[in-house]
Structure formats: C-alpha cells, structure tokens
C-alpha cells in the first residue's frame, strides 16, 4: 500500500490538472493547426523562434499601448482647450514672447555682450510670463526690483572687498551669509509674502554678481548687463501679455464669486427638494465621504464655494497689481471686498452642507412628518435660492440693490415655518414622555418636590404649543400615519423612495441586535429610534432657519462692496450700445468721450 501510486479522484482538482498535463504532452510535435513538426527542427529552432515571437509580441504590445496613451492624452488636451480657449491663447503668447527675445542671439556686431548674456532675458520670459496680467506684473516688478537692489549691494560689497586686501575672500563669504540670512528671514514676515519671489531673485543675483565679479574683476559690467537683460525680458513679457488678448486676474475673481452664488443656490434647492421627496442614497459615494470632487449636483455646488478660498486669495493677490481696466476703472479697486462677500457666502454654504448631511445620515424622519412641513420648507428653500441668484446676478452686472427689502419674502417664509414648528412641535419629539401642566401650588417645599412620584411630577410650560395643547388628553398613535391619512388608508409615499427602502433605512439603526425577549425593551428601542428620527426633522428645519439668519450678513457684505466699488444704480441704467473695434480701442485710450 505504501509503494502504490495514488490515483486522483474523478472530478477533483488533481484529476483535472492531470488531464490538462496529458493533453499538452500529447500535442508535442504538432503545430496549433495540427501539422506535425520534425523533432529535430523543434529541438533546434524552438528556443530561437520562441524568443523572436515573444520579442515581437512585446514590441507590438508596447506600440499599441503607446498609441492608446497618446490618443488619450491628445483627447484630454483637446477637451481642456475646448473648455477654456484662453489656455491655448496663453500658450501661443508664450511662444511668441520666446521668439522675440531669442532674436537677441543674432545681435553679434552691434551688441556683442547682449548676445553673450541673452540667456538671462530668456530665463526672465520663462519665469515672469504668467497666465494673468496681475501675476505677470507681480513677478516682473519683483524680479526687476530684486535685481536692482542686489546689483547695487553687490557693487558696494565688491568695492569694499577690494579695499580689504588679503581679507577680500573672507569679506565676500561673510557678506553672502549675511545677505542670505537677512533676505530669508525678511521674506518670512507675513506682510512680505507678496514679495517672496523678489527676495529669491535678490539672493540669486547678489551671489552671482559677487562670485563672478570676484573671478573676472568686472562687477559693474556684470551687474549692468544682467539688469538690462532682465528688464528687457520683463518688458517683452508684459507687452505681449497685455497687448494680445489680456487675461485679467480681477475679472476671474469677479466671475468666480458670481459663479459661487449660483452653485450654492442650486445646492440649496436640491437639498430641500431631495429631503421633501425622501431621496436617499443606496450607497453614499466614497468621494463624498472623503470630501473629494464628485459629479453630484447638490454636493458639487456648495463644495466649489467652500473650496474656492485659496483660489480667491491668489486671484486677489494678483489683481491688486493690475492697473485700472475695463469695468474696473478705479485706482485701488476694493478687490478684498470680493473675498469678504465670498466669505459671507461660504458662511451660508456651511448650512447647506449640514442640511445635505441630514440626507446622508442613517437616521431619517418618516415621510409623513416631512409632509406636514412641506409647504413651509419648500417656500423657504425657494426664496433663499432666489436671493442667492439675485445677488449673484447683481455681482455679475455690478449693480446695487434696489430700495425694496430683498430679505422680506424669505423672512416671511421663515416666520411661517417657525410658527408651524411651534404649532406642530409635538411631531418633533417623543410626545408620550411629555409632562405638561401647571405645577401644584400646595407642593412648594423643596423636600416635598423631591418626594413627588415621578408620574405626578409636572413641568412648567416650555413653548407656546405646550400652553395651547394639553397632550395628556391626546391619544398618540403608534404610527404617525394615523394622523396624516384618513382611517384605513395609507399615505402616499413620494415616488423618489419606496416602502422597502424606507423600511430598510429605519431598521438600519440601531445596528446592534437585541437578544432580550422582553417586549418592553423592544418597545423602548422603537421609541428611541422614533424620537431620534423626529429630531432629524427638527435638525433640518433649524439649519434652514439658521441659513436664513445668515443671509443678512451676506447682504450687508454685498452692499459694502457696491458702495466701495461704485456699482451702478439699477434705476439709472443706460442702454448698451454696440461699438466697433476702433471705437472700443479709442475709448480704452481715452481719445474719445
């Protein structure tokens, strides 16, 4: 028995593996189409043929993969250009600026030093040429100022080092350390953040002129050539960027703020409508859970407003460098007020984010209770979105608000919602545990109050609804369906959610399984969930009312922007006239009234 071979069972894994092995061995000496091959040829040529086939297959797969990658990259580049054609124009402008500055290489006879040091002008164009006019001016002025200061300081240190005699090298080393320490420490100061690039250029220029001047002894010529070529490169960059399809950072900031108003308004309407229609996620997308960009319309609307902080700060930092242009013909235009308005809008967007969190939460209020407040919630949401869109339109057109109160309608809607909550507040809590009534007058002693039985302990009135309604006389049904719908009829559940999904949603919390057979414990767990689901509705309504309260700060910030930026009065609008190209050019040059 020990020496006998074990035969694998029929149908087992080992049996199937043995069959495949025998089938492959039986095909030895035959090609894939069934033609017999000589054994000598197979033994002699099989390794080389196999290597050639593998190398050819790897090469073909690499070519196909590279072609697919190239097509994918080209498609994405085409889509990027179609979405924002300004990027194509900016790239063409960069190429034109490099062509113009590269012509210095061919200037050999009149200015031999210019062709020799033309690399500094080319580097200046590459570094200074930015997407917007403000960024280009900012980097150009920083580079020019840093080069000028570094050149002057390097000339002074070079002259002093010559007088130091044998201590010349030591003086140069100490001066480089001192300049590097002071410039680096100064750029870390908060108010010097806008000049950080200038400090870097200062250090590069100072070290270059000091070291090269020490070797060649030509401090003045090196400093002058470097400064002139950097100034020439900056001038070419600014000229090309301003004269050919200028892209203004201030205009981008203006459009971004007005776009955020529209996004938050769409999110507000979507959140309220989804909540009233009982829309729920079968599975919350992981991008929403990790706060990443997603295609959800409700989510992307308020997220873009919240995430635009760094972009707005960057655009504002570039916009302050731009000269008066277009509709922004004021010196020291109040760009910081745009950021302030956007901050107030972001403060409102946080409430929309919290309301969206109510939809994403596990505990949900039943549809019957939501329908009780449907009209009021719908009105507050629509009025709030209307105000946001109107403010965004005013920002886009640069118009002031009218004489009427823009917040009147939304305040009225919020007041109606608050009154409805006050009347129906018993729907927002577990009303069976309420103890309403007047405190007995005969039990005024503190010791007597402590001895009162829990069932006879009365609380004072806490709200207007408690004073009007005595819920002890109201029979609270086990299901709120009995209050909303007539007898023997079930309420109409919204189309966006089914009974099965709602039941699954309700039993998903609490997540633990109770093994207690006591019916009282199960009833308490059911009451706990019912109370928590009611509080979910109370949370949503309170967040919506808080959103309305925050709109006042947003309107005040917009009015401040309108006053400082001198927005137009809506009552004094002039009809727009379509001028030709030369008329617009003359108006820009102030040669025509």
Q: Along the 593 residues of the chain, how does pLDDT read in single tens digits? A: 444 445 555 555 455 545 655 554 454 444 444 444 444 444 445 555 555 666 777 878 788 888 888 888 888 888 888 888 888 998 999 999 998 888 877 766 666 666 677 788 888 898 889 898 988 998 888 888 888 898 888 888 888 888 877 888 888 899 999 999 999 999 898 888 888 888 998 998 888 888 877 777 677 777 788 788 888 888 898 899 988 999 999 999 999 999 999 999 999 999 999 888 887 777 777 777 777 777 788 888 899 999 989 899 999 989 998 888 888 888 889 999 999 999 999 999 999 999 998 888 887 888 888 888 889 999 999 999 999 999 999 999 999 888 888 999 999 999 999 888 888 877 776 655 554 444 444 444 434 433 434 344 333 434 333 333 343 333 434 344 344 444 443 333 443 433 333 333 333 344 444 444 455 566 666 666 667 777 888 889 999 999 999 999 999 999 999 999 888 887 765 554 445 545 555 454 443 33
Domain final position from 243, 276, 294: 243
Q: Are residues 331 and 203 in the same domain?
A: no
Burial class (CB in 10 A: 0-12, 13-18, 19+), 131: middle
Work out the number of other CB atoms within 10 angstroms of the CB of residue 241.
25
Nearest to 346 by CA among 257, 468, 418: 257
Cβ atoms of residues 130 and 186 within 8 Å: no
pLDDT score recorded for residue 38: 46
Q: Which helix (H) or strand (E) holds 124?
A: helix 118-128
- Looking at the structure of the chain, the number of domains it has is 2
Please state, in angstroms and rounded to a whole number, the distance separating the CA atoms of residues 353 and 288: 11
pLDDT score recorded for residue 452: 36
| Domain contains 301 | yes
pLDDT score recorded for residue 545: 93
| Domain contains 466 | no
- Phi first, then psi, for residue 53 (nearest 5°) are -65, -40
Q: Are residues 423 and 275 in the same domain?
A: yes
pLDDT score recorded for residue 590: 45
Q: Are residues 364 and 219 in the same domain?
A: no
| Domain contains 6 | no
Cβ atoms of residues 172 and 230 within 8 Å: no
- ω before 132 within 30° of 0 (cis)? no
Q: Are residues 285 and 418 in the same domain?
A: yes
> The domain that contains 302 carries what CATH number?
1.20.58
| Domain contains 348 | yes
Q: Are residues 125 and 166 in the same domain?
A: yes
What's the pTM value of the predicted model, to 2 decimals? 0.69
Q: Where are the alpha helices (DSSP H) in 485-588?
A: 499-506, 519-564, 581-588
| Domain contains 559 | yes
Q: Are residues 318 and 237 in the same domain?
A: no
Burial class (CB in 10 A: 0-12, 13-18, 19+), 204: middle
Q: Are residues 290 and 419 in the same domain?
A: yes
Please state, in angstroms and rounded to a whole number, the distance separating the CA atoms of residues 303 and 294: 9
Q: Are residues 92 and 154 in the same domain?
A: yes
Domain final position from 191, 219, 243: 243
| CB environment 354-389: b (16+ within 10 A), e (fewer) | bbbebbeeebbbbbbbbbbbbebbbbbbbbbbbbbb
Q: How many residues does the chain have?
A: 593
Domain final position from 243, 260, 293: 243
Q: Are residues 312 and 409 in the same domain?
A: yes
Cβ atoms of residues 121 and 101 within 8 Å: yes
Q: Are residues 378 and 406 in the same domain?
A: yes
- What is each CA distance from 213 to 108, 118, 202, 210, 218, in whole angstroms? 23, 18, 16, 5, 5
Q: Are residues 197 and 315 in the same domain?
A: no
| Domain contains 190 | yes
Q: Which domain holds residue 160?
A: 86-243
Q: Are residues 152 and 222 in the same domain?
A: yes
Please state, in angstroms and rounded to a whole number, the distance separating the CA atoms of residues 330 and 561: 13
- What is each CA distance from 133 to 181, 315, 332, 380, in whole angstroms? 32, 11, 16, 42
pLDDT score recorded for residue 422: 85
pLDDT score recorded for residue 494: 41
| Domain contains 321 | yes
**Phi and psi based region of residue 566 (left: phi greater than 0; alpha: psi -120 to 50; beta: remaining):** left
Q: Where are the alpha helices (DSSP H) in 277-407?
A: 286-289, 297-307, 309-319, 335-360, 367-372, 374-397
pLDDT score recorded for residue 6: 52
Q: Residues with Cβ < 8 Å from 325, sequence gap 6 or more?
A: 246, 248, 250
pLDDT score recorded for residue 63: 81
| Domain contains 441 | no
């Amino acid at each position: 028995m020990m020496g006998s071979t074990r035969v694998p069972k029929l149908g087992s894994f080992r049996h199937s593996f043995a069959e495949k092995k025998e089938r492959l061995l039986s095909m030895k000496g035959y090609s894939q189409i069934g033609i017999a091959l000589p054994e000598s040829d197979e033994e002699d040529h099989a390794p080389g043929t196999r290597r050639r086939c593998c190398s050819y297959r790897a090469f073909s797969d690499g070519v196909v993969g590279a072609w697919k990658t190239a097509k994918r990259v080209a498609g994405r580049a085409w889509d990027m250009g179609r979405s924002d054609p300004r990027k194509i124009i900016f790239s063409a402008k960069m190429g034109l600026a490099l062509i113009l500055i590269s012509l210095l290489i061919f200037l050999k006879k009149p200015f031999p030093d210019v062709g020799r040091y033309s690399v500094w002008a080319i580097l200046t164009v590459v570094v200074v040429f930015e997407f917007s006019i403000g960024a280009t001016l900012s980097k150009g002025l920083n580079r020019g100022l840093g080069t000028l200061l570094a050149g002057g300081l390097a000339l002074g240190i070079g002259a002093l080092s010559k007088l130091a005699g044998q201590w010349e090298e030591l003086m140069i080393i100490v001066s480089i350390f001192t300049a590097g320490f002071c410039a680096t420490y100064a750029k870390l100061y908060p108010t010097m953040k806008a000049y950080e690039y200038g400090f870097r250029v200062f250090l590069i220029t100072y070290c270059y002129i000091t070291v090269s001047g020490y070797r060649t002894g030509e401090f003045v010529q090196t400093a002058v050539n470097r400064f002139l070529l950097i100034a020439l490169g900056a001038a070419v960059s600014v000229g090309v960027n301003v004269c050919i399809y200028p892209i203004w950072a201030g205009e981008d900031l203006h459009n971004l703020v007005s776009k955020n108003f529209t996004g938050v308004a769409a999110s507000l309407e979507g959140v309220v409508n989804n909540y009233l229609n009982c829309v729920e996620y079968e599975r919350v997308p992981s991008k929403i859970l990790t706060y990443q960009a997603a295609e959800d319309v409700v989510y992307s609307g308020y997220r873009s407003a919240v995430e635009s902080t760094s972009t707005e700060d960057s655009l504002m930092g570039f916009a302050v460098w731009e000269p008066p242009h277009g509709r922004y013909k004021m010196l020291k235009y109040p760009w910081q007020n745009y950021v302030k308005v956007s901050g107030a809008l972001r403060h409102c967007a946080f409430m929309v984010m919290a309301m969206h969190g109510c939809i994403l939460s596990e505990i949900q209020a039943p549809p019957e209770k939501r329908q009780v407040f449907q009209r009021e919630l719908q009105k507050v949401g629509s009025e709030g979105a209307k105000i946001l869109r109107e403010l965004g339109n005013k920002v886009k057109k640069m118009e002031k608000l009218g004489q009427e109160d823009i917040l009147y309608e939304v305040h009225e809607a919020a007041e109606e919602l608050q009154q409805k909550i006050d009347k129906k507040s018993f729907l927002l809590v577990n009303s069976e545990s309420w103890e309403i009534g007047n405190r007995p007058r005969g039990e005024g002693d503190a010791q007597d109050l402590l001895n009162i039985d829990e069932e006879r302990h009365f609380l004072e009135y806490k709200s207007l609804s408690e004073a009007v309604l005595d819920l002890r006389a109201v029979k609270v049904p086990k299901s709120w369906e009995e209050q909303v719908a007539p007898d023997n009829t079930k309420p109409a559940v919204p189309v966006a959610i089914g009974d099965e999904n709602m039941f699954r949603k309700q039993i998903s919390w609490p997540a633990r399984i109770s093994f207690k057979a006591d019916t009282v414990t199960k009833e308490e767990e059911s009451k706990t969930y019912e109370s928590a689901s009611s509080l979910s509705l109370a949370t949503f309504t309170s967040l919506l009312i808080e959103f309305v309260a925050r709109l006042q700060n947003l309107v005040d910030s917009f009015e401040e922007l309108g006053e400082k930026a001198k927005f137009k009065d809506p009552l004094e609008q002039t009809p727009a006239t379509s001028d030709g190209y030369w008329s617009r050019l003359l108006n820009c040059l102030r040669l025509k009234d």
